[in-house]
Amino acid sequence: MIRYVAGVDIGNATTETALGMLENGNLIRCESGIAPTAGVKGTKDNILGIIQSLKDAASKMGIDYKALDLIRINEATPVIGDFAMETITETIITESTLIGHNPDTPGGMGLGTGKTILIGDLAQAGTDEKYIVVVPEDVDFLDAARLINENAEHGIQIEGAILKKDDGVLVNNRLKRKIPIVDEVEMIGRVPLGMPCAVEVAAPGGCIDLLANPYGIATVFALNTKETRQIVPIAKALIGNRSAVVIKTPSGEIRERRIPAGEILIHGEHKTYRAAVDRGAQEIMAVVGKTSEIRDVTGTTGTNVGGMLEKVRLEMAALTEQDSKDVFIRDLMAVDTIVPKEVQGNLANEFAMEKAVGIAAMVKTHKLHMERLARALSEELGLPIDIGGVEGSMAVRGALTTPGTDKPLLVLDIGAGSTDVCLMEEDGRTKPIHLAGAGNMVTMLISAELGLDNFRLAEDIKKYPLAKVESLYHIRHEDGSVQFFEEAIDSKLYGRTIIVKPEGWKAIKTKKSLEKIRQVRREAKEKVLIQNILRALKTVSLTGNLNEFEHVVLVGGSSLDFELGNMVTDALSYYGIISGKANIRKTEGPRNAVATGLLLSYLEENGYGI
């Protein structure tokens, strides 16, 4: 007699099916199905996705999904993750004193110092002082060049210029005596006049030298020690620019403010530890590391971190229909990062790189209401539904179908909100653990560090490789290989860095180079995912020595990431661990691990041969 049994895994993103055909006590055929998960995991909304996924597998088998004899669904791990970003420093300029930006084409070269003066007021200027001219929008570049030349002939010392329009090169080409010119200064009206000012432009390919150095600024403006300390944030904000302007105003004040970011309280089994968010991720992670078993985590009320931790708690409470008092945060991950933030009081949309901490939290509650879902599904389909084992153990069973694996085996499932790890010992015992920090946190870091403010774009950057459109007929991929095309590439993409998505290219509109974007992407994965994998290994390890593990297998959708598999293999080979993407049932790649595990566990329990 032929029987059909399906294992169904309801994940956060996809619902996967492993459908087995059983005959005479043996599994003779197995097919997979996949569909997007409908609704929040563990709710009745899931039924739609389950049916789609069953249909997919059944059609491959050539049967109707209603012909099934049994469906086994997983005991979903009640884990939810959330993340937040906390900026811990902020640069504030109370009076406009700095213009540090990178216009594409500044004019001239070198350093010029003098008093700021409007170009129209040059007639009143004296010959005993040096000047930096300020050119508003309504002055044409021809007039600007003529006025500067004429006044210079009359003995007025003009040492540099600040322009509103993108005319730097045009003005410079017409000057008899070349001066450094910074153009495209958005808020030219806010440049204080009659103040000591320095303009610096570096040669093509170079960076400004004096104004990005606190002692350089001190030399230019003859500052004392105390004043030099104050201008450090300016110098910091100007590092790497090709051109910059610094103006010294009498009451001008620039501060790097440390924002009170609150404290995280980590409640352990016996003791509560405190970690100040503004001390950075390392300190937080040190505290997390020394807490043997985290019972709960709270944050100072009224701060970002406090609010974020409460939000996670409330969401989970709503999902599981529990009181928020019964929901506990069981893990926390913090990552240091540097984010570009607009300088308050800026003149040309300058950014300063500020320190920030990214925080991810993970909540565990009692069971999700899988029984309820099972009952509803049973009524809908008229089939017996069975709830199988814990997600982690099922994943291990499924992962063991990968050729070349053996017990003891550690399975890593990096999801969107949490990193789930399960260890299967030689004797078959399993040990699941769940960690905060996963795919979404990587996306958040990419978005913040590149200053994108766009989660979907950051998600694409995370998932797909980059390329640069080098001509109208070819692109250069990030690995250096070149690809040519028959048709001309859209001129909107010309010269840009693009994301090579399977369904088409997407331009990233930023001045940041491909190399920089790639570096941020890889570092974000390294900081969150690789670090979390090492943390997971240390947690499940008995000796704390990672060399004790032999096989680490990646399963789940995020292991389809184009570079993560290699990054993990690379990082773990250091410890002599064999690691890589799973290949479930020799055919499915990293997908379908839990569904396959559910099917296998049914077969084992009921004495079928595999």
Q: Which residues bind other proteins (CB under 8 A)?
A: 104-105, 141-142, 166-170, 173-174, 470-473, 488, 491-492, 494-496
Closest distance to other proteins from the beta carbon of 152 (Å): 17
Give yes or no for a contact between 312 and 361, defined as CB atoms under 8 angstroms apart: yes
User: What six digits make up the tokens of 384?
Assistant: 């017996």
Closest distance to other proteins from the beta carbon of 188 (Å): 18
Given strand 243-247, what is the order of strands in its sheet?
Answer: 98-99, 243-247, 196-201, 110-118, 130-135, 157-163, 181-182
What does the alpha-carbon distance between residue 505 and residue 209 come to, in Å, rounded to a whole number? 38
**Beta bridge partners of residue 100, listed in sequence order:** none
Side chain identity at residue 172, one-letter code: N
Q: Which is nearer to other proteins, 490 or 526 (CB)?
A: 490
What does the alpha-carbon distance between residue 151 and residue 202 come to, in Å, rounded to a whole number? 25
Closest distance to other proteins from the beta carbon of 524 (Å): 25
Give yes or no for a contact between 71 and 6, defined as CB atoms under 8 angstroms apart: yes
Closest distance to other proteins from the beta carbon of 167 (Å): 7
User: What six digits make up the tokens of 155?
Assistant: 């003995």
Q: Regarding beta strands 157-163 and 181-182, do their DSSP bridges make them parallel or antiparallel, or are they unpaired?
A: parallel
Closest distance to other proteins from the beta carbon of 6 (Å): 51
Closest distance to other proteins from the beta carbon of 496 (Å): 5
Closest distance to other proteins from the beta carbon of 403 (Å): 47
Q: Which is nearer to other proteins, 470 or 604 (CB)?
A: 470
Q: Which is nearer to other proteins, 115 or 174 (CB)?
A: 174
Give yes or no for a contact between 276 and 283, defined as CB atoms under 8 angstroms apart: yes
Q: What is the DSSP letter of 553?
A: E
Q: What is the DSSP string of 430-481?
A: EEEEEEE--HHHHHHHHHHHTT---HHHHHHHHHS-EEEE-SSSEEEETTS-
Q: Which is nearer to other proteins, 25 or 495 (CB)?
A: 495
Q: Which is nearer to other proteins, 510 or 569 (CB)?
A: 510
Q: Which is nearer to other proteins, 49 or 168 (CB)?
A: 168
Q: Which is nearer to other proteins, 107 or 252 (CB)?
A: 107
What does the alpha-carbon distance between residue 106 and residue 204 come to, in Å, rounded to a whole number? 9
Closest distance to other proteins from the beta carbon of 477 (Å): 16
User: What six digits make up the tokens of 193?
Assistant: 């006049």
What does the alpha-carbon distance between residue 396 and residue 389 come to, in Å, rounded to a whole number? 11
Q: Which is nearer to other proteins, 30 or 489 (CB)?
A: 489
Q: Which is nearer to other proteins, 131 or 141 (CB)?
A: 141
What does the alpha-carbon distance between residue 284 and residue 70 come to, in Å, rounded to a whole number? 48
Q: Which is nearer to other proteins, 5 or 163 (CB)?
A: 163
Closest distance to other proteins from the beta carbon of 240 (Å): 19
Closest distance to other proteins from the beta carbon of 170 (Å): 5
User: What are all long-range contacts of 369-376, with beta carbons under 8 Å and residues at least 24 apart?
Assistant: 369/42, 369/43, 369/320, 369/321, 370/42, 370/73, 370/74, 370/75, 370/76, 372/44, 373/10, 373/42, 373/43, 373/44, 373/46, 373/47, 373/73, 374/73, 376/44, 376/47
**Beta bridge partners of residue 242, listed in sequence order:** none
Closest distance to other proteins from the beta carbon of 469 (Å): 9
Closest distance to other proteins from the beta carbon of 178 (Å): 14
Q: Which is nearer to other proteins, 104 or 526 (CB)?
A: 104
Backbone angles phi and psi of 148, in degrees to 5? -65, -45
Give yes or no for a contact between 500 and 477, defined as CB atoms under 8 angstroms apart: yes
Q: Which residue has the tokens 């300020």?
A: 134
Percentage helix, strand, coil for the chain under 3-state DSSP, each rounded to 5: 35, 30, 35
Q: Which is nearer to other proteins, 178 or 538 (CB)?
A: 178
